Chains A and B, each alone.
Chain A
Amino acid sequence: MSTLIVIDQPPYGTWAGREALDMAFSLAAFDQPVALLFTGAGVNWLRKLQETSEVEQKSVEKNLSAAPIFGVEAMYADAAACVRYRLTLEDMVAGVVMSESSSDLLNQYKHTAFAG
C-alpha cells in the first residue's frame, strides 16, 4: 500500500505540516511505501537556509533532511507552485524532485493524506 502525504500549507504558521511529516515517518517506520508532495504555499517548506530563531521554532529543514534516512521514498515539489514562489531546485534542500503534474502523481498512490 503506497501513500502520498500532501503538504499544502507553509511552515511555521500551524502545526499541521509537522504532524503530516510525522505521519510520513511513521509509515516509513512500519515499512510502508510513502512519499511527500509539497504543493501550493507548502513548497516553502523546501527552502534552504531557513532562519527560525525569531519565531522560536525549530527549522523544518532538519526534519526534511531526515526524511530519506527514515525511509521516505521521495520528496516532490509541484512545479507550478515553485514558479509561483520563485523556487528552483538550487533554492531547495537536497533530494527534491519536481512534479510537473500532481494529478498524475496522485494517481500513482493508493492512499493520499493531506496535512490538516
Chain B
Amino acid sequence: MAAIQLQNYTLVITGAPYSSQAPQTALSFARSAIAAGHTLDRVFLYGDGVHLASAFSAPPSDETSWPAEWAIFLKDNDIPGVACVASALRRGLVNESEQKRYELPASNLLEPFVIAGLGEWVEGTMASSRVIYFHAGG
C-alpha cells in the first residue's frame, strides 16, 4: 500500500454560518484531515466567514452552534483561528481593543479566534502545502 503523503493545510472560510454550509463542510474536512494524520497550519475567516467567530451567535438549543463547535475543535487541536480585520470590522465583529478604538458598545470575538490582517492568509499560503477555500456557493 502506498504511503499517504501528509499535508499541512490552511483552510479559508468565506461563507457565514446559518446562511451557508461552508463552516460545516470545512469542519467535517478539518476533522477528517486531522484523523488521517494531516495537520492544519491555520484557519482563516474572510468575508462573511468572519461571522463564525461571533460570541453573540445564539441558535435555538436543538440546532448546532457552529461557532461553538469550531471554537472547541480549534482549542482541542491547538490550531490558530484568524478573522480578517477588514472583513470583521465591516460586519460588526470586534475584539476588546477594536471596541475601544472605535468606541463601540461591546466586543464579541469568540475565543480562541483572533483578529489580524490578510498577511495571516498570505503567510498561510506560504507555510502550508495546500490551501482549501470554503465558499458560500450559489
Contacts and interface: CB of A to CB of B under 8 A. Distances in A.
Contacts of A30: 119, 122
Contacts of B133: 113-114, 116
A46 B121 CA distance: 26
Contact of A19 (B87, B117, B122, B125): B87
Given A1-B126, A116-B47, A26 B121 contact: yes
How many B residues touch the partner, as a band? 20 to 34
Majority secondary structure, A binding face: mixed
Given A1-B125, A1-B126, A16-B14, A22 B118 contact: yes
A27 B122 contact: yes
A111 B126 CA distance: 10
Interface in B1-52: 12, 14-15, 46-49
B122 A116 contact: no
Given A23-B118, A113-B133, A15 B126 contact: no
Nearest to B137: A116
Interface residues of A, number: 16
B118 A26 contact: yes
B114 interface: no
B55 interface: no
B7 to A, nearest CB: 14
B47 A15 contact: yes
Contacts of B118: 22-23, 26
Contacts of B15: 116
Contacts of B110: none
Given A19-B46, A30-B119, A113-B133, 15 more contacts: A1-B125, A1-B126, A3-B125, A19-B14, A23-B121, A26-B119, A26-B122, A27-B122, A30-B122, A32-B122, A113-B12, A114-B133, A114-B135, A116-B15, A116-B133
Interface of A: 1, 3, 15-16, 19, 22-23, 26-27, 29-30, 32, 111, 113-114, 116
